[in-house]
Structure 1
Amino acid sequence: MVPGQKNIILRYTLIMFIMALLAIAIIAKAAIIMFAERQYWKDVADRFIKENVIVHPTRGNIISADGKLMASSLPEYKIYMDFKAGGETKDTMLMNHLTEICEGLHQIFPDKSAKEFRQHILKGRRQKSRNYLLYPRRISYIEYKEAKKLPVFNLSKFKGGFHELAFNQRKKPFGSLAARTLGDMYPDVTLGAKNGIELTYDSILKGQDGITHRQKVMNKYLNIIDKPAVDGCDIITTIDVDMQDIAEKALVDQLKNLEAVFGVAIVMDVATGEVKANVNMTRAGDGNYYEMRNIAVSNLMEPGSTFKTASIMVALEDKFITPDYMVDTGNGVVNMHGSNMKDWNWYKGGYGKIDVTRIMEVSSNVGVSSIIDKFYGDNPQKFIDGLKRMSIDKPLNLGFVGEASPRILGPKERYFAKTSLPWMSIGYETMIPPIYMLNFYNAIANNGVMVKPKFVKAIAKDGEIIQEFPTEIVNPKICSDTTLTMIQGILRKVVSQGLAKPAGSKQFSVSGKTGTAQVSQGKAGYKAGGVSYLVSFCGYFPSEAPKYSCMVSIQIPHGPASGGLQAGSVFSRIAERIYAKHLYQDLASAKDSTSIIIPEVKNGDLREASYVLQNLNIQSNSSSIPKSSTPIWGKANCTTTYAELKRTNTEKNLVPNVRGMGAKDAVYLLESKGLRVRLSGTGKVIRQSLNAGSYLHKGQTITLTLN
């Protein structure tokens, strides 16, 4: 061995041994980090960076046809306190500012006194709670921001302890109005919609989720956006809030009088098919009526005598009859293939020999069934084909969950007894949702053009229309012009001279048909557990130039039953109030050439006063009021010849002067400043409990006296 070689080998071996030990130590440490200390280091990492945090977008609004907000997503909060956060420094600050904090909370939440808040906070402090609920109910965003301004609460949650839990809630400003048409959301709105327009247009309303990651930079946490959330679009419906309200009130009043099981009222625009009102009320266990199901589109019902119109139209179209075709209805009872067909007045001796027009006026079962059995008894399929030619059974695919389609089945689809045809002709042995029946009458009003009922007219984004839904034609001509003219004349006489007189009006003419049907209990028959009835009226108005069609259906658990009296009277109230809503008259016709009429103008939003004055051609300075998307507050000084509008300033922190305003403007202005409003009386404001110009404190209650 070469001298010195032994020393080199020793040194080399030592180095290799040390390196092996280091490698083993590194591997061992890595193993400890990966397994034994994995959760610790993961928690450390999470404090600095958190990947793929989902950011939920704001759900779009649902807006009425007249521009009113019907459903919107609004944040709500529950507020908590961590009494251990911030240590002794925070605790000292809390006790030093406790009186100020409790007074502030009382101003924001007047239902609890400052003393109650003090006792409540001290209780949480004694418990040293880390998640102590400060206020029992959810609060609005405005209330949350006010609370966040209070001492200690304005610090970060790690220093002050004040923190919140956010909820994104779906709110309906008009309460239950059109609730079933609009639809419901799950309590956790991120789970989506249950039904109605909310579900049908869920993909449009909900928007798209965004993604962020949270990273700690220089002792501060930053939310870094990887993919921005895209807020949902707004849905503009065809529902008119005023018409919906008119229809609901008229229907519910009658339902209460009749102690009815349920009721439906639908109003459609004849030319466009836009559904202006859709009311679906069901009696609950407490005796009150609520929108539980969209009965108009989901319930299959035997339509009763409203179906006679379709039966007579088939015979008119096939040229078997004319309006003056005579039928001997005898004493009101006729044997139809072994079963008795009866008119409602059979016990009075019936109607005898009457023509088709009169048959429809008095809704004669014997008259209609005799015609259909005579001309179609040997070939029932020809009658069924005639009905289908008018598209009365064609699925409309409205998009609602649970939507039903008509069942009008002929010899090709089911067993067809000899009695099936006559009973089908008067509205039995067929099942049709109310909106389909209305759509058929709407086509008669629309010169034979059947359009698809429409619940949504447009999609909007940031106030701009991005998609409109045009009127869809289901059938361009349900019958010939001759048949259409004849049936329109008959339906008008049904109201003016027949059993449907209660559906008419002294102000305008109405056309339509009543319906009264016993309700089938399925296999149990029609009389199991007592007889219940479906009374209805379906028609349109004004007869000369139809603008709206409407159907009212009510199920009552007892007799006597009358479609004209019980459903037709509801139709009349709805039609007259809608007609009055759209009644415009020239002011010139109400004054002579020497009259000078300047109406009394209430104080308030000058934009509305300006609009009215200009449209009535009243001398004023209304043109000086600029167009604006926000209210322009002011007052009006009126003389016998001129109306002067003057703008007034409303200071942010002062109670405004609302004397002379109507209730709507006064409440809007005061609530926008954070005050709670109580009203007494009607008319315009003559007194306010908080003096104008005094400093306001949000959450205060102000009482307005109107006269």
Structure 2
Amino acid sequence: MTDERSAITGRLFALFGLLLLVPCAIGFQLFRINFIEGDELRDLWNEQAIDYISIPAQRGNIYDNDGTLLATNSVVYKAAIDPKLKDLTREQITEACQTLAKHTNRNSTYFHQKINNAPSRSRYVVLAQNLSTDAYLELKALDIRALILEESYQRRYNFGTLAAHALGFVNHESKGVIGLEHQFNDHLKGEDGQQQVRRNRSGGIFAYVGAPRKQPEQGHSLHTTIDSHIQAILEEELKAGIDRTKSNYGSAIVMDPRTGAIKAMANFPTFDPNKPASLKNENRRNYAISDMIEPGSTFKLVTAIASVEQDVVSFDEIFETPEDGTKLIHGQMMRDHDPLGTLRLDQVFEQSSNIATAEIAMRLSPNVFYQYARNMGFGTPTNIDLPNEESGRLQKPYEWSQVTLPWMAIGYEVQVTPIQLLQAYAAFANDGYMMRPHIVKKITDGEENIVEERRPVKVREIADEETLNKLQPVFKDVVSDSGTAQWAQVDGLEIAGKTGTAQKFIDGRYRTAYRASFVGFFPADNPKYVALVVLDEPQTSIYGGYTAGVIFKQTAIRIAGLDKEIQRSFEDTEPMQEPLVHIPDVRQMELGEARALLASQKISYTLNGSGQWITGQTPGPGTALKEEGRVTLKVSETPSDSSDTNIPEGYSRIPDLGGMDMRRAAMLVNSRGFEIKFIGSGTIYTQFPRAGDLMKKGRTITVRGKSKSLETLVGR
């Protein structure tokens, strides 16, 4: 019994000893962790709690040809605070909150509550986002260590829809989606920096004061060939033409044929890259490079060049077309737009005879015709520096049927993109040398050092210069009273080009829907610009000369008025003639001002009535007048006649500034309460808004000037 009791007691002591070891072990571990290995373990915890986040780089800018900023970044600021920082005082918190209230729609109590309601362990409390630069600078001037000021960037397109399809836009991650933004995204995006942050047990990230950071590297900038003035002109005229012809949509391009530099590229409908989600996806499509269309008669350039260079036709040859304007070719009926009768070779293209063009093409072998079309860039991409370019479709001769050659000769059974068609005519204008279209001329870094310079690239020679010299007068005659592009004529400016009208091929068959186009270059003898206009389903007429040709004409007039080289060529080539002046609008002017203006243009006048204000004139404004001509001015005691008694308060009538010099125009515009913006110099030949309209005072009238020699060009 005693042995048994001793055994139980021994086991109890052993158990007690074991139980006593547990707190001893725990106490030893606590001592070891806090005093022996504490510093090392704390360092290890800090390492595990530290992480790095990316600091987005500032995206590079995009400039036009003259250095105008088309796309840039607007900085957006965010303010946060570390409320646990030891040296942070209540006065500093109050100062920060009051400053934020000053620059936001919140009161200071709101920001105090955000700080007070933050989790007890929070070291990063966001106070406000999307702060202005003024707010950022004022907060920074407070010099409060606990304030954490961060900046990010949003893409901004300074001119809204201008060149939207060429520029493209970026998504919410600042990644380029279409256009140059996408094509050159790797250049533009730069290299992101890094900032050290802390991560809590839940994985949350918190910035902290004094955290190390690696600054981001700014993206490279693009310097483009786009001329903002020409781009604006092209967009305005394309939109006006689409509205006038009630077309579904349209596309237009202007290029320098000598270098391949794209001066303007427009599509309508368009979109605002600042708000890319606001319109339909199809409005973002760049039809100029992505739309595969059957070109119609504009493709007859291939037939013309191939037949002349291969010597299968002569310029004195006569072609007889059927009296009814139709002909059965290999079992398929071909039609001319009108019965054209007997035609010379030049008239075949001038009047755009399908039947005669097909007859000429059938003298060539399929392989020869195909090779000329291929050499002129059809069936292959132009490799323009924009994304999503289509290559078109040019069937190989072994895929052809009996009717392919005659129908391809007039622009059917082939698909091209507008940029391909423009490139071919640019090669024609450039003595046969085809240049690669391009829109970026150089890339620079953040310090304006050139990273990459892109020089014009010669692709190939499409034909002998002698061949093209023979054909140039033919295509100049297209833009004449007897040609299909008579509506594209500009008095005093020689233009060469070709119209096109093509049925649309939809769901496997041709429909009664058409595309109309015109492509041409000017000045014809020394081309500086080649331009293409394509309209989808115009309702007023299916013919390219009447629809697209008018858009080309208005664009050419306005471009010529801005181009000093073209103006000088007129000074050199215009014959001496009796000078004409065009009567300015002096109605509603003070008599003294009107006298000075008429005297500056050497116009004699007589007065009818008495008073100090001009209320009428004969002949009317804009009338051509020889120097010995005389104007009769109706004067009265009041500045306005009865037609202007209903002008609302704060408004004024826009004066007609045509024919004035810039100084006189500025005086008149300012006297009416408007501002004035000048483009060009010399005599004013066009203005916007138009004369006679009512406009609120304080707004701007834009005028364009030209040398005297261009007065015939613009038809004044």
TM-score, structure 1 as length reference: 0.67
What is the Cα deviation at residue 395 of structure 1? Answer: 2.8
SS at structure 2 position matched to 1:253: helix
Residue 454 of structure 1, aligned match among 438, 441, 454: 438
What is the Cα deviation at residue 32 of structure 1? Answer: 9.8
Decide whether the 8 Å contact of 2:164 with 2:270 is kept in 1: no
Decide whether the 8 Å contact of 2:385 with 2:438 is kept in 1: no
What is the Cα deviation at residue 167 of structure 1? Answer: 3.7
In the alignment, the residues of structure 2 paired with residue 561 and residue 29 of structure 1 have an alpha-carbon distance, to the nearest angstrom, of 93
In the alignment, the residues of structure 1 paired with residue 292 and residue 448 of structure 2 have an alpha-carbon distance, to the nearest angstrom, of 39
Residue 436, structure 1, aligned to residue 420, structure 2: yes
**Structure-2 residue corresponding to 1:595:** none
Q: Deviations over 1:414-453 (max 9, x none)?
A: 2x22222211111111011100100000001101100100
**Structure-1 residue corresponding to 2:562:** 581
Decide whether the 8 Å contact of 1:533 with 1:559 is kept in 2: no
**Structure-2 residue corresponding to 1:4:** none
Decide whether the 8 Å contact of 1:281 with 1:292 is kept in 2: no
What is the Cα deviation at residue 520 of structure 1? Answer: 1.2
Alignment of 1:357-376 (within 5 A): 357-373=346-362, 375-376=363-364
**Structure-1 residue corresponding to 2:259:** 272
What is the Cα deviation at residue 79 of structure 1? Answer: 6.0
**Structure-2 residue corresponding to 1:703:** none
**Structure-1 residue corresponding to 2:502:** 517
**Structure-1 residue corresponding to 2:613:** none
What is the Cα deviation at residue 568 of structure 1? Answer: 0.7
**Structure-2 residue corresponding to 1:251:** 238
What is the Cα deviation at residue 228 of structure 1? Answer: 5.0
Give the partner amino acid of 1:365.
N
**Structure-1 residue corresponding to 2:516:** 535
Q: Deviations over 1:139-174 (max 9, x none)?
A: 44345434666xxxx474857xxx767442111111
Aligned residues: 543
Give the partner amino acid of 1:73.
N
In the alignment, the residues of structure 2 paired with residue 290 and residue 246 of structure 1 have an alpha-carbon distance, to the nearest angstrom, of 23
In the alignment, the residues of structure 1 paired with residue 327 and residue 337 of structure 2 have an alpha-carbon distance, to the nearest angstrom, of 13
Residue 210 of structure 2, aligned match among 202, 218, 222: 222
Alignment of 1:226-375 (within 5 A): 229-282=216-269, 292-331=284-323, 332-345=325-338, 350-373=339-362, 375=363
Decide whether the 8 Å contact of 1:61 with 1:233 is kept in 2: yes
**Structure-2 residue corresponding to 1:526:** 510
Alignment of 1:206-217 (within 5 A): 206-213=189-196
Percent of pairs with identical residues: 28
In the alignment, the residues of structure 2 paired with residue 228 and residue 371 of structure 1 have an alpha-carbon distance, to the nearest angstrom, of 67
SS at structure 1 position matched to 2:65: coil
Q: 1:30 to 1:446 in 2, by over 3 A?
A: farther
Decide whether the 8 Å contact of 2:503 with 2:515 is kept in 1: yes
Decide whether the 8 Å contact of 2:502 with 2:516 is kept in 1: yes
Give the partner amino acid of 1:243.
I
Alignment of 1:32-43 (within 5 A): none
Q: 1:293 to 1:129 in 2, by over 3 A?
A: farther
Give the partner amino acid of 1:539.
G
In the alignment, the residues of structure 2 paired with residue 26 and residue 364 of structure 1 have an alpha-carbon distance, to the nearest angstrom, of 106
Q: 1:22 to 1:53 in 2, by over 3 A?
A: farther
In the alignment, the residues of structure 1 paired with residue 430 and residue 196 of structure 2 have an alpha-carbon distance, to the nearest angstrom, of 58
Residue 680, structure 1, aligned to residue 672, structure 2: no
In the alignment, the residues of structure 2 paired with residue 141 and residue 449 of structure 1 have an alpha-carbon distance, to the nearest angstrom, of 52
**Structure-2 residue corresponding to 1:420:** 404
Decide whether the 8 Å contact of 2:245 with 2:540 is kept in 1: no
Decide whether the 8 Å contact of 1:535 with 1:561 is kept in 2: yes
What is the Cα deviation at residue 397 of structure 1? Answer: 2.0
Decide whether the 8 Å contact of 1:51 with 1:214 is kept in 2: yes
SS at structure 1 position matched to 2:510: coil
In the alignment, the residues of structure 2 paired with residue 43 and residue 72 of structure 1 have an alpha-carbon distance, to the nearest angstrom, of 44
In the alignment, the residues of structure 1 paired with residue 391 and residue 234 of structure 2 have an alpha-carbon distance, to the nearest angstrom, of 24
In the alignment, the residues of structure 2 paired with residue 393 and residue 233 of structure 1 have an alpha-carbon distance, to the nearest angstrom, of 34
Residue 176, structure 1, aligned to residue 157, structure 2: no
Q: 1:282 to 1:519 in 2, by over 3 A?
A: farther
Decide whether the 8 Å contact of 1:71 with 1:170 is kept in 2: yes
Residue 184 of structure 2, aligned match among 192, 195, 201: 201
Decide whether the 8 Å contact of 1:283 with 1:289 is kept in 2: no
Gaps of 5+ in 2: 1-17, 119-123, 199-207, 272-276, 573-578, 580-599, 601-662, 664-672, 680-695, 703-716
Q: 1:54 to 1:428 in 2, by over 3 A?
A: same
Q: 1:155 to 1:49 in 2, by over 3 A?
A: farther
Decide whether the 8 Å contact of 1:314 with 1:386 is kept in 2: yes
Q: Deviations over 1:600-621 (max 9, x none)?
A: xxxxxxxxxxxxxxxxxxxxxx
SS at structure 1 position matched to 2:397: coil
What is the Cα deviation at residue 526 of structure 1? Answer: 2.1
Decide whether the 8 Å contact of 2:303 with 2:360 is kept in 1: no
Q: 1:664 to 1:411 in 2, by over 3 A?
A: closer
Q: Deviations over 1:341-369 (max 9, x none)?
A: 11112xxxx11110121111111111211
In the alignment, the residues of structure 2 paired with residue 133 and residue 661 of structure 1 have an alpha-carbon distance, to the nearest angstrom, of 45
Give the partner amino acid of 2:403.
T
Q: Deviations over 1:473-500 (max 9, x none)?
A: 111x211223111221111111023010
Residue 386 of structure 2, aligned match among 391, 396, 400: 400
**Structure-1 residue corresponding to 2:633:** none
Q: 1:31 to 1:505 in 2, by over 3 A?
A: farther
In the alignment, the residues of structure 2 paired with residue 92 and residue 52 of structure 1 have an alpha-carbon distance, to the nearest angstrom, of 29
Decide whether the 8 Å contact of 1:261 with 1:283 is kept in 2: no
In the alignment, the residues of structure 1 paired with residue 64 and residue 477 of structure 2 have an alpha-carbon distance, to the nearest angstrom, of 35
Give the partner amino acid of 1:430.
V
SS at structure 1 position matched to 2:218: coil
Decide whether the 8 Å contact of 1:66 with 1:240 is kept in 2: yes
Gaps of 5+ in 1: 1-16, 591-598, 600-642, 644-658, 666-677, 685-707
Decide whether the 8 Å contact of 2:383 with 2:436 is kept in 1: no
Give the partner amino acid of 1:258.
T
SS at structure 1 position matched to 2:254: strand
What is the Cα deviation at residue 123 of structure 1? Answer: 9.8
**Structure-2 residue corresponding to 1:489:** 473
Give the partner amino acid of 2:70.
M
Cα RMSD for the two superposed structures? 4.4
In the alignment, the residues of structure 2 paired with residue 43 and residue 557 of structure 1 have an alpha-carbon distance, to the nearest angstrom, of 74
Q: 1:28 to 1:194 in 2, by over 3 A?
A: farther
What is the Cα deviation at residue 388 of structure 1? Answer: 2.1
Q: 1:31 to 1:283 in 2, by over 3 A?
A: farther
In the alignment, the residues of structure 1 paired with residue 152 and residue 381 of structure 2 have an alpha-carbon distance, to the nearest angstrom, of 40
In the alignment, the residues of structure 2 paired with residue 70 and residue 199 of structure 1 have an alpha-carbon distance, to the nearest angstrom, of 16
What is the Cα deviation at residue 138 of structure 1? Answer: 3.7
**Structure-2 residue corresponding to 1:45:** 46
Residue 467, structure 1, aligned to residue 452, structure 2: yes
In the alignment, the residues of structure 2 paired with residue 96 and residue 229 of structure 1 have an alpha-carbon distance, to the nearest angstrom, of 28
Decide whether the 8 Å contact of 2:56 with 2:152 is kept in 1: no
In the alignment, the residues of structure 2 paired with residue 234 and residue 371 of structure 1 have an alpha-carbon distance, to the nearest angstrom, of 50
Q: 1:143 to 1:292 in 2, by over 3 A?
A: farther
Give the partner amino acid of 1:330.
P
What is the Cα deviation at residue 297 of structure 1? Answer: 1.1
Q: 1:173 to 1:96 in 2, by over 3 A?
A: closer
**Structure-1 residue corresponding to 2:621:** none
SS at structure 1 position matched to 2:547: helix
